[in-house]
Each structure stands twice: as C-alpha cells, then as structure tokens.
Amino acid sequence: MMFEYKDFIEQIKASLIESEAEKDARSCGNTYSAAAEGKAEESERSNISGRLPAEEKAKVQTSQWTHEEVLALLCSYEQHKDEFEDPSIRNGEVWVHIADDLSSGHIQKTPSLFEKKWSNLKIRYTSIKDAMIKSGAGRSGWVYFEKMDQILHRDKATEPAATSNQ
C-alpha cells in the first residue's frame, strides 16, 4: 500500500498531542515503511532474491525522487546529523550509512545521489528562508520546508544573512 495523503493528515493531527521525540520516531518509521512498501513491489518483480539487475539499478539511480524517498532521506539525515558534526567521521562515510539504512527500505540509490539530493534540498531551503526574511512572509508552501526547518533550525550555514548577526 502506498503512502496515503489522508493517513498522513491523520498522523499529523494525532502527533500534535504527542511529545516531540515520539513524533519524530513515529514519522520517520512511517516514512521508511511507506517507501519500503512502494519499492518492495518493484524489487520483487525485478528479481526474486530482492537484488536489482544492473539495468534496473541504473534506471533506479537516474529516476525521479518520490515524495516518500525524500521524506525517508530527511528522516535518515536527521538520525545521522550528529555523525556529520563529528570531526572524526568523514561525511562520505555517513552518506554510506544513510544509503545502507535506506536500501533496507528498498530505496536503491548511491551515497552520492543521497548527498546531491540533500544539497539541493538545503539550497532550496536556504533560498526560501532568505526570501521569507526579506518579504516578511510567515510560512512557506514548500512541502519539505517544515521538516528541513526542524533539521536545520540551529545550523549557522543555513541562517539567512539578515539574521546571522542577532
């Protein structure tokens, strides 16, 4: 069963009552499940052993990102965020960990694709945040803004120039 919008809305309503830690664990778990369910069908059709043939893997590597895959990436990044901040761990190693985590949910992408997608999400988040500061807008309509803001709200690299001196 694929990720359902109505189910997502119900989860959001229910999560307003839950503590912040419970909400994070629950939303990430559901994201992994939704992505895994969608990819499991594709994987089972491709190969009985669950491994994708080289031609299918190449197709998956260049395919568009689904909403569930992006949410799974955001949740996995959030879970590994401390590793990125640890100077004894190379960022490339952390992206390998993220790719391994998400491949268990049948998201078959390389660590470099996860890193590139994260970079693009972060660039978009920063530009929206800057525009919001300049315009005085209170909210963004971008579907990933709130999750990105939750992950990056204390990240100096994504603070708008207008607010970094405060």
Say if 149 falls within a structural domain. no
Percent residues over pLDDT 90 in the chain: 44
Span 141-153, average pLDDT = 92
> In which residue are the tokens 């470099």 written?
112
Q: What is the C-alpha to C-alpha distance for residues 105 and 73, in angstroms, rounded to an integer?
A: 11
- Could you tell me if 149 and 125 are in contact, meaning their C-beta atoms sit under 8 angstroms apart? yes
Is residue 79 included in any domain, yes or no?
yes
Q: Structural domain of residue 92, as residue ranges?
A: 5-111
Q: Is residue 87 part of a domain?
A: yes
Domain for residue 157, yes or no?
Answer: no
Q: How many domains does the chain have?
A: 1
Percent of the chain beyond pLDDT 70? 54
Whole-structure pTM over 0.85, yes or no? no
What's the one-letter identity of residue 54? A
> Average pLDDT, stretch 44-72?
63
Whether residue 154 lies inside any domain: the answer is no
Residue 119 lies in a domain: no
Which residue, 100, 142, 140, is CA-closest to 121? 142
Q: pLDDT tens digits for 60-107? A: 555 689 999 999 999 999 999 999 999 999 999 999 999 999 998 889
